[in-house]
Amino acid sequence: MSSHSLQHKITINSLREMKAQGEKIACLTAYDVSFAQLLDQSGVDVVLVGDSLGMVIQGLDSTIPVTMDEMIYHGRVVSRGLKRALLILDMPFMSDATTQMAVENAGRFMKEAGANMVKLEGGADQRELVETLTRMGIPVCAHLGLQPQRVHKLGGYKVQGRDASTADKMLNDARVLEQAGADLLLLECVPAELAQRVTEQASIPVIGIGAGHQTDGQILVLYDILGISAGHIPKFSKNYMLQSDSIQQAVECYVEEVRQARFPDSQHSFK
Ligand code: KIV
> Residue 233 — pLDDT band, cuts 50, 70, 90?
confident
C-beta of residue 195 within 8 angstroms of C-beta of residue 217 = no
For residue 234, report the distance from its CA to the centre of ligand 1, in Å.
12
Ligand 1 site: residues with CB under 6 angstroms? Answer: 29, 48, 50-52, 90, 186, 188, 209, 219, 221
What does the pLDDT average to over 8-22? 97
Q: What is the pLDDT of residue 3?
A: 54
pLDDT over threshold 90, residue 6: no
Closest ligand 1 atom to residue 63 Cα is 1
> Residue 44 — pLDDT band, cuts 50, 70, 90?
very high
Q: Which residues are catalytic?
A: 188
pLDDT over threshold 60, residue 43: yes
Q: What is the pLDDT of residue 211?
A: 98
Q: What is the pLDDT of residue 230?
A: 78
For ligand 1, atom 3: residue with the closest CA: 50
pLDDT over threshold 60, residue 75: yes
Q: What is the pLDDT of residue 1?
A: 44
What does the pLDDT average to over 49-61? 95
pLDDT over threshold 80, residue 109: yes
Mutate to test the pocket of ligand 1, among 31, 35, 52, 93 (most ligand atoms within 8 A of CB): 52
Q: What is the pLDDT of residue 88?
A: 98
For residue 219, report the distance from its CA to the centre of ligand 1, in Å.
8
Q: What is the pLDDT of residue 232?
A: 79
Q: Cα-atom radius of gyration of the chain, to the nearest Å?
A: 17
Mutate to test the pocket of ligand 1, among 209, 235, 236, 238 (most ligand atoms within 8 A of CB): 209
140 vs 12: CA distance, rounded Å? 10
pLDDT tens digit sequence for 189-203: 999 999 999 999 999
Mutate to test the pocket of ligand 1, among 49, 51, 89, 140 (most ligand atoms within 8 A of CB): 51
pLDDT over threshold 90, residue 171: yes
Closest ligand 1 atom to residue 143 Cα is 8
pLDDT tens digit sequence for 209-232: 999 999 999 999 999 999 998 777
> Residue 5 — pLDDT band, cuts 50, 70, 90?
low
For residue 52, report the distance from its CA to the centre of ligand 1, in Å.
5
Q: What is the pLDDT of residue 241?
A: 97
pLDDT-above-90 percentage for the chain: 93
Q: How many CB atoms lie within 10 A of CB 62?
A: 15
